[in-house]
Structures are given as C-alpha cells and as structure tokens.
A and B are shown apart, each in its own frame.
Chain A
Amino acid sequence: MQADACATMKIVVAIKQVPARDSQLRVAATGQWIEEEGLEYEINEPDAYALEAGLRLKEKHGGEVIALCAGPARAGKAILEALAKGADRAIHIEEDAAALDPLTRARLLAAAVKSESPDLVLTGLQSEDLGYGQTGVILAELLGLPHSTIIMEIEALPGVIRVKRELEDGWFQHIEMPLPALVAVQSGIGKLRYATLMGIKKAKSKEVRRVTAASLGVEPGEPAISIERVYLPERTKRTQLFEGDPKQAAAQLVEKLRFEARVI
C-alpha cells in the first residue's frame, strides 16, 4: 500500500498485561493484593484497541509501531502477541509493576517514550486490573504533550491529528491537536485483529529492547497513594439464587417474576 501525502508516523503504543477476564480471584495472604499464583494473563483489552488503532494508522500512512510494556518477565507474552499482530518492535520495562500507583508507572513509561521521540503515543482508556484510567493522561503531562481521551476515531493530517471524542449520553465531539500528541483510545475503535500464522512466526525475530527502572534513570520514589487492603465486596442486595437443573431454575424464576415481583 502506498502511504498518502501525510508524513509517516512513529507511534508508541503502551500496553499492560493483566489477569485474564474470567479469572477466579482470591485475596492474597497479605490482604493487600490478589493471589497471583496460577493466574492466566492477557493484554489489557482497552490497550489491545489502542494497538489496533496504531496498526491501522501505520497501514494508512506508513511508519512504525512500537509496543511498550512495563511488567515482569511474564509480560514478554503480551509483547510477543503485540509483535505478532503487527507491531514492528517493542520495549519491555522489566519491573514487577502490578500494583504501582499510576504516577510511578507513568514515570517509567515516560522515560522509555522520551528515548523514541514518537509522533503519537497511544494508550488504552483504563486497565482492567487497577482501573484508575489515569496512566495515559499522566504520561501526556510528564511528556509535555497535548492529549485527548475516550477516542473513537483518529485521523492523521499533516502535523495535526483530528480525533472523535466520546462524551456522555451518546454525544461526540471532534478535537484537533498538533503532533506530537497522546491519545487514550476507547474500546471499540476498530475490530480487533487476530495474529496470523505468518505474524506469529515473524514476531520471534523482531527486536525487543529490555530496560529497567534503573537503566531508564527512574528513581522509585514514595508512592502518593497506597492500597491498604483488598477484599471481596459485600452484597448490597439479597439475591434469590436458583441453581441446579436449568429447567427447574427457569420455572422457579418465571414463577417469582409473575407472582412475587409481578413484573411480567
């Protein structure tokens, strides 16, 4: 495909590896995090959409997509997946960063992004583990970049990008900003691709640069917020549960809806 008139783009996509969606979670013995033993991990879904957006921009305009991930050795799997889907190379910040506060995490990412001077930095809107929804915006502030969040479309124009931002209650708005910039992508920006067999094969030979907080020159610093305790939430409603034989459960439920709740 021929790149169009718009200059090619160097894009960094920040991805996080999180416990798989359907994981059964248990509270760790410390009471301050979840038990990680035996968990399966995957790319944080909102970040998978950020990667998708980056790959589509590259396909349209040419350029390079660099996957950036902070996490322990197991995050190598998420990086390999990003490379298999089409990222050109990757940077792995090898730190056990599971429950880092978002500023500390963003400082690590910022140091790695700086060394690349990209035109565009993409992140997912939020992580499915901590769910702060802050890393992208903090990263923009640390890098001195303009940003926009909850983005449904990205259009690259010479030196500028035009994004479609989702507002509440079904409203949208277009926003223009100069490059370089940071965009936090909303899930659903484009249908996620699967890695092809060829992609998986190629991924193994792509460059992965491994760095650490120390090699990036980032001092850990004191966290500004701390998780004191994690626990399973208490039920706020008393739920009548029907288990066992589906036919029997269905009949019981219909009975309740007709004669107790009287909603059907």
Chain B
Amino acid sequence: MSVLAVLEQRGGQWQRMSFETLAAAQQIAEELGTTASAAVLGHGIEALANELAAKRLDKVYALDHELLKEYTPDAFTQALAAHIKLLDPTIVLFPHTYQVRDFLPKLATRLGRVAVSDVIGHRVENGKLTLVRQLFQGKVNADVRFAGDGPHFASLQAGAYRADRVVDGSATVGAVTPALSPADIRTRPGEPFRESQRAVDLSAAELIVSVGRGIKEADNIPLIEKLAKALGAELAASRPICDAGWLPMERQVGSSGQTVAPKLYMAVGISGAIQHLVGMKGARTVVAINKDADAPIFEVADYGIVGDLFQVVPALIEALKK
C-alpha cells in the first residue's frame, strides 16, 4: 500500500494548493500505516523536485519532458497513466485545480477507475479510507468509498487541508522521462493572457458587500449599492450576477473571480456555493442575509439575518445612519 501526491506547477512556480495535497498525502499515508511519495510534471523542474526532497516522502518523481512544459490533457494523461501503472500506488491525490479538473477524469478512465473529485475531508477506519465531499452545491455532505482495487484517485478542494502541516524529512529524487511524441497531442494551447488591467482590486478592500441571485433582477442592484455606500464598502458579487451582466466580471468573488480577505464580508442573497466560498473564506467577519435558513453561507457566517433581503437591506441602511 502506498500514497502518491501529484503536485502542480507552472513555469517553475508551485500552484498554491500543491502543498495542501502534499500535507494530505502525508497524513493519510500515516493513518494507513504506509508512506507517501510525490510526483511533479513539467520541463526543467529539478529545483522543484529538490525542494520536495526535503519533505518526509518515500520518493520524489520528476516527470520531465519538453512536451510537458505546457499543459495539455493528452500529454499529462499519457505521462501519468504510464507512471502510475508502473508504480501501482494504492491512492493518488491531486489538488482540485482547474487543470486537474481538465485531465483527472480522463486519466482515471484510461486506467478503468473513477476519481472522487472535490474532496473536503477523510476518515480512516479499520484501514479503510472514506472520503467526504459535498453534493447539491454544499447543501448535503456525502461519504464516498472506493470499490475494488487501486489505484484510487481523488482531488482535494482548496483549503480542505493545511499546507503548513507538511512535515520535513528527506527523500530521493527519481527523474522520469515519459514516452511522448508531438503526434500524441491533439490540442494546441495558446499563451495565457489577462482580459484587461483590473480597475477594481477587491483584494485590498477592508469592507465588502456582495450580492447574489437573491437580488432577482438587475433593477434591484441599486439597493445593494446603497447599502455598500452606507457602509463605505466595495461592491462585489457572486458569479451568476456577473454572468447575467448585472455587474462587471471584475467584481466577481470566487474560484473564477477574485479572492478577498476583508475585515467585513456581507453576503446578501448569496447561497454560498463552494465556488463562492473559496473566494471569501479569508474574511475576518462574515455576515449573511438570506431567506433560506439552510443556505450553506450560514455555515461560514459569524452573524446572520434570516429574512427577505428586500425588507432587511432597507432596514440595515436606516440602522447604519443612526
């Protein structure tokens, strides 16, 4: 039995969730009475592999190839499928990044397995691993188990494990050159780009009022603008509001928008899907205003008002004037 953590880097920089996955792999391996190893893919990744060599790991694998310099699902799947077949680990863990979401289901399918994606925690009982994940946009949790033999694949949600729990040690580095040829790769990735300089930097805001689907119509947005003004706060929104064009994309908080850490985050009419929560978990004080007492946003809120925002928000604006 063994655990393998597959970590993500880009241009020699770690993806920030990679060390969370490393910590999880060490922890799960220990609970299962075995050891963890780590793998990283790319080109010219010696320095990163050497950094991992100072962690408590059995082995570090550097899958280095020119065709892994830029991510493509075809090359990453092929390289990892061959390596995992050879290594035969019991459990293979990934950070649940956009990149992993793009290739992990393909990799698992190629090896005749099903990955458990977006895991938020685990338990080990009698040597058996149970993973916890969320269903229905975070309204319900589920315990999930693997059937049959390994390798068992799972991806871990951002923030589910703590990167600062990684244990130091020493490991040997094994350089691996995957068998890849340009003919194997069907997609042609272009250079990453940003749309435009962001006019609004929410990450520096001390107070944020954020609005979600509960606002119902574009015409109701000014009500939330009034509240933000009364508080002296920046206005932000959950994804559906920006998708609908009611507020510009640059005001979106969440996994596909900005990550914020204000003193106060007031979520108005936001149910609290995980894609939103990962963007505002760092807020010191969270206030939720929502008509649904079971909305997941209340799980992360310090203060909450259960009620109709169209009554609560005007009352709040009044109360702030006093």
A: residues with CB less than 8 A from B are 19, 21-25, 27, 34, 101-103, 106, 128-135, 137-138, 140-142, 146-150, 166-178, 186-188, 191, 222-233, 235-237, 239-243, 246-247, 249-251, 253-254, 256-257, 261, 263-264
Task: Assess the B192–A243 pair: CB atoms within 8 A.
Answer: no
Task: Assess the B186–A264 pair: CB atoms within 8 A.
Answer: no
Contact of A230 (CB < 8 Å), options: B104, B135, B231, B311? B135
Distance (whole angstroms) from the CB of B160 to the closest CB of chain A: 12
Distance (whole angstroms) from the CB of B128 to the closest CB of chain A: 10
Contact of A254 (CB < 8 Å), options: B258, B302, B306, B320? B320
Residues from chain B with a CB closer than 8 A to the CB of A264 are: 207, 231, 264, 320
Q: At the interface, yes or no: B30 with Cβ under 8 Å from chain A?
A: no
Contact of A166 (CB < 8 Å), options: B98, B231, B301? B98
**Interface membership of chain B positions 24-66, coded 1 if the CB is closer than 8 angstroms to chain A and 0 otherwise:** 0000000000000000000000000000000000000000000
Distance (whole angstroms) from the CB of A34 to the closest CB of chain B: 6
Give complex CA distance A81, B311 in Å: 34
Task: Assess the A240–B303 pair: CB atoms within 8 A.
Answer: yes
Binds A, one of B84-92, B138-146, B173-181: B138-146
Report 13 cross-chain contacts, Cβ distance below 8 Å, ordered by A residue.
A24-B294, A132-B105, A132-B117, A132-B118, A169-B259, A228-B144, A236-B299, A240-B304, A241-B306, A243-B307, A253-B316, A257-B264, A263-B207
**Contact of A22 with B105 at beta-carbon distance under 8 Å, contacts A225-B146, A227-B143, A228-B130 already known:** no
Contact of B285 (CB < 8 Å), options: A27, A142, A233, A261? A261
Distance (whole angstroms) from the CB of A235 to the closest CB of chain B: 5
Give complex CA distance A34, B74 in Å: 37
Residues from chain B with a CB closer than 8 A to the CB of A25 are: 136, 139-140, 294
Distance (whole angstroms) from the CB of A126 to the closest CB of chain B: 9
Residues from chain B with a CB closer than 8 A to the CB of A24 are: 294
Task: Assess the A133–B117 pair: CB atoms within 8 A.
Answer: yes
A-B contacts, CB under 8 A, total: 259
**Interface membership of chain B positions 87-131, coded 1 if the CB is closer than 8 angstroms to chain A and 0 otherwise:** 000000000011001111110111011111110000000000010
Task: Assess the B303–A257 pair: CB atoms within 8 A.
Answer: yes
Q: At the interface, yes or no: B245 with Cβ under 8 Å from chain A?
A: yes
Of B97, B101, B213, B294, which is in contact with the most chain A CB atoms at under 10 Å from its CB?
A: B101
Give complex CA distance A240, B304 in Å: 6
Task: Assess the B292–A22 pair: CB atoms within 8 A.
Answer: yes
Closest 9 pairs between A and B when the two form their complex, measured CB to CB: A188-B243, A250-B315, A146-B186, A134-B105, A174-B190, A137-B105, A224-B114, A246-B311, A263-B264
Task: Assess the A170–B142 pair: CB atoms within 8 A.
Answer: no
Task: Assess the A247–B318 pair: CB atoms within 8 A.
Answer: yes
Task: Assess the B114–A131 pair: CB atoms within 8 A.
Answer: no
Q: At the interface, yes or no: B168 with Cβ under 8 Å from chain A?
A: no
Residues from chain B with a CB closer than 8 A to the CB of A247 are: 315, 318-319
Residues from chain B with a CB closer than 8 A to the CB of A102 are: 105, 114
Contact of A246 (CB < 8 Å), options: B138, B193, B207, B307? B307
Task: Assess the A263–B285 pair: CB atoms within 8 A.
Answer: yes
Give complex CA distance A225, B305 in Å: 39
Task: Assess the B303–A137 pair: CB atoms within 8 A.
Answer: no
In the complex, the chain B residue whose C-beta lies closest to that of A106 is: B109
Residues from chain A with a CB closer than 8 A to the CB of B143 are: 227-231
